[in-house]
């Protein structure tokens, strides 16, 4: 039986496994065994679903080809993406096609049946985003799924050969579209999360769009028009921005120059390394601010961190190591940067083998809550406020029960809204409402016990209980994570009948 570690990324996705030599390895593309990363981009057309490099090839021929990119940033959101038949695909279904492609690659390369997978998510993902990721895995047909945070996976991979004994680790995880800062304690028994923080929509995509803005500004100066209004020009600009970013991350490269033909008009674009660093500067400062919040949340400073681990493709940006070394007072070569593109997938494969294969060497993973969890209630001034029941950075699993009371006589039901937030002054994310029926003619201040709980994967369960009657209502998930709603059940039929071309 085969167990996969899957890095379901914003820009690229990878699948890894433990090979016959008991080493972690990546699953290659079934049509190109020298390719191990699948671009997380999807096109759905009359000939089926195209995923990864197949879509990039279509865009080379026709940049106006409709496609979906960066769908990871839409997970858990009420967004829809139309196909050639004007069917509206949810982000979970689009992600399922990416996962389906990875499964097809695996089955073409390896003879063993796939018994399950560990799929990674940003530590900063909310309950809705985690549930959506698990639903995507269900839609793709993965038999058993466990979610794990990307920094934990990366730390697990680094820890195999590079870290021993009792150590405090800081994982700086800057990927294509998300950033996580996670503080962990590692010892011979396992990994223990001390604190985590993050920022949505901060990564390589941000850099690409900054370069695209520079190109648009130069084009507009020359031709008095915005090239981004044309879909073909937009694709060309993004392709060049990505290429320029990667080129300027190479040692010794100081500039990139190219003549772009956009809307039948040319623009000669030059990007030097100092200009590039100025574009990246704000992004790196935002990431460092998140790091400081993470440390403050755990009441620690950089001087107590033994190793700083860099992972995610965007951690290769030269300014990242430069400013992180300056902020932490360490030499740049003292920051651990080892296979940043693959580290998360490799770590997920190691964890999958421990979880599913009953590995006798299994180590403990003590995770922590990334969000406060509470109930929206009426404050003293009558305005709605969130009563926090479980704080951020608490070990999971975690649960808390609080007794709430009705505010009027004969109240027929209690409306319970579960809310997540990063901190007292941060934006809230409502996880939804559920209604708990009360007995007829219930007196004022009738008691109802509310229990909120985080499970090991950071998913939320809410329970309401009448202590007088024992009546209970629980928002539960099925054994695979979260049951598919009617819309996703319908979209699973679309997925099952959509061959994936790669």
Residue range 455-485, pLDDT digits in tens: 988 989 999 999 999 999 887 533 344 557 8
Q: Are residues 217 and 245 in the same domain?
A: yes
pLDDT of 137 above 80? yes
State how many domains the chain has: 3
Q: Are residues 355 and 213 in the same domain?
A: no
Confidence grade of residue 356 (pLDDT, cut at 50, 70, 90): confident
pLDDT digits (tens, 9 = 90+) for 42-73: 999 998 999 999 999 999 888 889 999 999 99
Token couple for 136: 């995507």
Residue closest to 459 by CA, chosen among 131, 220, 3: 131
Q: What is the pLDDT of residue 478?
A: 39
Q: What is the pLDDT of residue 479?
A: 39
Q: Are residues 223 and 344 in the same domain?
A: no
Q: Are residues 362 and 393 in the same domain?
A: no
What CATH number did the domain enclosing 230 receive?
3.90.640.10
pLDDT of 178 above 70? yes
Q: Are residues 244 and 215 in the same domain?
A: yes
Q: Are residues 40 and 156 in the same domain?
A: yes
Q: Where are the beta strands (DSSP E) in 282-424?
A: 307-311, 336-337, 364-366, 372-378, 384-390, 398-405, 413-421
Q: Are residues 399 and 361 in the same domain?
A: no
Q: Are residues 147 and 223 in the same domain?
A: no
Backbone angles phi, psi at 345, to 5 degrees: -65, -45
Neighbours of 386 (CB within 10 A): 20
Q: Are residues 8 and 38 in the same domain?
A: yes
pLDDT of 3 above 50? yes
Q: Are residues 350 and 382 in the same domain?
A: no
Query: 348 has which bridge partners?
Result: none
Query: Average of pLDDT values for 489-498?
Result: 93
Confidence grade of residue 359 (pLDDT, cut at 50, 70, 90): low
Q: Which residue has the tokens 């993050």?
A: 198
Query: Average of pLDDT values for 109-136?
Result: 95
> Could you tell me if 6 and 99 are in contact, meaning their C-beta atoms sit under 8 angstroms apart?
yes
pLDDT digits (tens, 9 = 90+) for 295-319: 999 999 999 999 999 999 999 999 9
Q: Which residue has the tokens 């020359």?
A: 222
Residue closest to 37 by CA, chosen among 45, 27, 46: 27
Q: Residue 215: which domain range? A: 204-277
pTM, entire model: 0.91
């Amino acid at each position: 039986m085969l167990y996969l570690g899957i890095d379901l990324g914003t820009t690229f996705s990878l699948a890894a496994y433990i090979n016959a030599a008991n080493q972690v390895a990546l699953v290659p593309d079934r049509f190109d065994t020298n390719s191990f990363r699948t671009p997380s981009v999807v096109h759905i057309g009359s000939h089926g679903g195209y995923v990864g490099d197949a879509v990039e090839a279509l865009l080379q021929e026709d940049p106006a080809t409709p496609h979906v990119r960066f769908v990871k940033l839409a997970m858990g959101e009420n967004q829809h993406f139309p196909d050639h038949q004007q069917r509206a695909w949810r982000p979970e279904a689009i992600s399922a096609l990416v996962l389906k492609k990875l499964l097809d690659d695996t089955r073409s390369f390896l003879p063993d049946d796939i018994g399950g997978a560990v799929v990674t998510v940003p530590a900063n993902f909310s309950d809705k985003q985690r549930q959506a990721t698990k639903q995507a895995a269900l839609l793709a047909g993965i038999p058993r799924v466990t979610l794990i945070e990307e920094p934990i996976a990366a730390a697990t991979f680094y820890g195999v050969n590079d870290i021993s004994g009792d150590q405090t680790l800081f994982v700086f995880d800057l990927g294509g579209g998300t950033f996580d800062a996670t503080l962990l304690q590692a010892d011979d028994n396992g990994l223990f999360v001390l604190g985590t923080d993050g920022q949505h929509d901060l990564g390589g995509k941000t850099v690409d769009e900054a370069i695209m803005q520079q190109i648009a500004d130069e084009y507009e100066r020359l031709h008095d028009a915005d090239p981004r209004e044309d879909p073909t020009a937009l694709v060309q600009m993004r392709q060049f921005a990505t290429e320029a970013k990667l080129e300027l991350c190479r040692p010794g490269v100081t500039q990139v120059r190219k003549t772009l033909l956009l809307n039948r008009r040319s623009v000669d674009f030059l990007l030097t390394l100092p200009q590039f660093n100025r574009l990246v500067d704000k992004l790196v400062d935002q990431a460092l601010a998140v790091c400081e919040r993470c440390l403050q949340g755990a009441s620690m400073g950089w001087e107590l961190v033994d190793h700083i681990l860099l992972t995610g493709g965007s951690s290769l940006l030269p300014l990242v190591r430069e400013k992180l070394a300056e902020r932490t007072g360490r030499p740049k070569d003292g920051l651990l940067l080892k296979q940043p593109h693959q580290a998360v997938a490799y770590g997920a494969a190691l964890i999958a083998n421990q979880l599913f294969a009953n590995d006798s060497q299994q180590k403990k993973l003590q995770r922590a809550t990334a969000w406060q969890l509470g109930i929206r209630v009426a404050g003293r001034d009558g305005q709605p406020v969130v009563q926090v029941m479980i704080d951020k950075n608490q070990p999971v699993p975690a649960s808390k029960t609080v007794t709430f009371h009705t505010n009027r006589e004969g109240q027929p039901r209690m409306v319970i809204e579960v809310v997540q937030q990063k901190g007292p002054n941060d934006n809230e994310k409502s996880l939804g409402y559920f209604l708990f029926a009360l007995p007829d003619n219930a007196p004022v201040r009738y008691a109802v016990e509310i229990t909120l709980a985080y499970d090991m994967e950071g998913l939320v369960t809410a329970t309401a209980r009448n202590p007088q009657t024992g009546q209970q209502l629980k928002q539960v998930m099925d054994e695979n994570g979260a049951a598919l709603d009617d819309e996703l059940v319908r979209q699973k039929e679309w997925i099952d009948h959509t061959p994936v071309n790669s």
